[in-house]
């Protein structure tokens, strides 16, 4: 696994239109862990890809009527199988954090990489997801010098009034050095 031109070599690439330029493309200094499932608690379908690519059909599920017009993305999704999808190159700003703050610095999208885990706050993540997440984190830390193990956080930590992911089901002790 390596990174070439800000794309992870082992990931499936599904480019999302939901990104823009970072103010400083060299300021990649935070990793934010999220979780997502569409519909809630359902896995293994194509709905996350459709949401991040602005083609989610609102008639497929009642919940989709509420979210299909959102313009959101992440850099990566790690599926429950361990398969990785990359939507946005790491040097661009994905739209994953929303209103957020880390160590007093606002707008975390400006300086972070967003990694979604296919899951929920209440269902344990898979061994395959932890293995891939650790592999991804190792290559990110090797590639982007401003990242460190101490600068890996959850969405709930940067937006505590709004978000709870990756939730109690995420075992932080499974992140390896």
pTM of the model: 0.98
Quick check: is 130 in a domain? yes
Quick check: is 64 in a domain? no
Quick check: is 98 in a domain? yes
Inter-residue contact 154 to 160 (CB < 8 Å): no
Q: Rounded mean pLDDT of 132-154?
A: 98
**pLDDT over 80 at 58, yes or no:** yes
Quick check: is 43 in a domain? no
Q: Rounded mean pLDDT of 142-166?
A: 97
Q: Rounded mean pLDDT of 56-62?
A: 98
Which sequence positions are flagged as catalytic?
A: 116
**pLDDT over 80 at 177, yes or no:** no
**pLDDT over 90 at 176, yes or no:** no
Instruction: Output the pLDDT for position 123.
Output: 97
Closest C-alpha to 49, from 83, 73, 22: 73
Q: What does the block give as tokens for 1?
A: 């696994």
For 77-105, write each residue's pLDDT tens digit: 999 999 999 999 999 999 999 999 999 99
Domain that holds residue 26: 3-37+73-171
pLDDT class for 60, splitting at 50, 70, 90?
very high
CATH number at residue 13: 3.40.80.10
Give dist(CA 130, CA 81) in Å, integer: 10
> Cα-atom radius of gyration of the chain, to the nearest Å?
15
Question: For the chain, how many structural domains are there in total?
Answer: 1
Rounded mean pLDDT of the chain?
A: 97
Q: Rounded mean pLDDT of 28-38?
A: 98
Quick check: is 44 in a domain? no
Instruction: Output the pLDDT for position 22.
Output: 96
- Proportion of the chain above pLDDT 70, given as a percent: 99
Inter-residue contact 60 to 84 (CB < 8 Å): no
Quick check: is 128 in a domain? yes
Give whole-number Cα distances, 160 to 43, 79, 98, 152, 156, in Å.
Answer: 25, 25, 12, 15, 5
């Amino acid at each position: 696994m390596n990174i070439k031109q800000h794309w992870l070599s082992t990931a499936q690439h599904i480019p999302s239109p939901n990104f823009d330029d970072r103010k400083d493309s060299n300021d990649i200094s935070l990793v934010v862990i999220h979780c997502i499932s569409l519909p809630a608690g359902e896995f293994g379908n194509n709905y996350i890809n459709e949401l991040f690519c602005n083609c989610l059909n609102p008639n497929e599920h009642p919940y989709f009527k509420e979210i299909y017009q959102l313009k959101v993305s992440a850099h990566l999704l790690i599926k429950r199988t361990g398969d990785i999808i990359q939507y946005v190159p790491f040097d661009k700003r994905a739209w994953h954090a929303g209103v957020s703050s880390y160590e007093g610095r606002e707008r975390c999208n400006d300086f972070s990489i967003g990694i979604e885990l296919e899951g929920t706050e209440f269902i344990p993540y898979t061994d395959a997801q932890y293995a891939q997440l650790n592999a991804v984190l190792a290559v990110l830390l090797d590639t982007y010098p401003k990242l460190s193990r101490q600068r890996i956080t959850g969405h709930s930590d940067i937006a505590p009034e709004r978000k709870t992911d990756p939730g109690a089901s995420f075992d932080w002790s499974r992140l390896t050095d």
